Amino acid sequence: MKIFVLILAMALVTYLGRVLPVLFLGQKTNRPRVEKFLRLIPYSAMTALVFPGVLYVDKDFMAIGLVGALMAVALSWINMSITFVVIGAILINMLMYAI
């Protein structure tokens, strides 16, 4: 029974997190600064989640994660698809581990 209540509570929290922004921000905002801020939130959140992992790929040789991240940035800069960006970063990390 405790697990069922926990699942319901998590579903409620997830649902509220999706519904509240729609209720409060459902109307189109005319302010460009607010719209730009809202569009940049997913990128900021992803960066905050990924960047610490980049630094701790290998505790003895931190450059491996940094080089992989730089490869991902370089490939995305030249407009490669997300699949090639991820594969390129993985391959450069594998090459650095092999050396």
pLDDT tens sequence across 81-99: 989 999 999 999 999 888 7
HEC profile of 32-72: HHHHHHHHHHHHHHHHHHHHHHHHCCCCCCCHHHHHHHHHH
Quickly state the pLDDT bin for 28 (edges 50, 70, 90).
low
Domain count, the chain: 1
48-80 pLDDT, tens digit per residue, is 888 888 888 878 888 888 999 999 999 999 999
Whole domain around residue 58: which residue ranges? 2-98
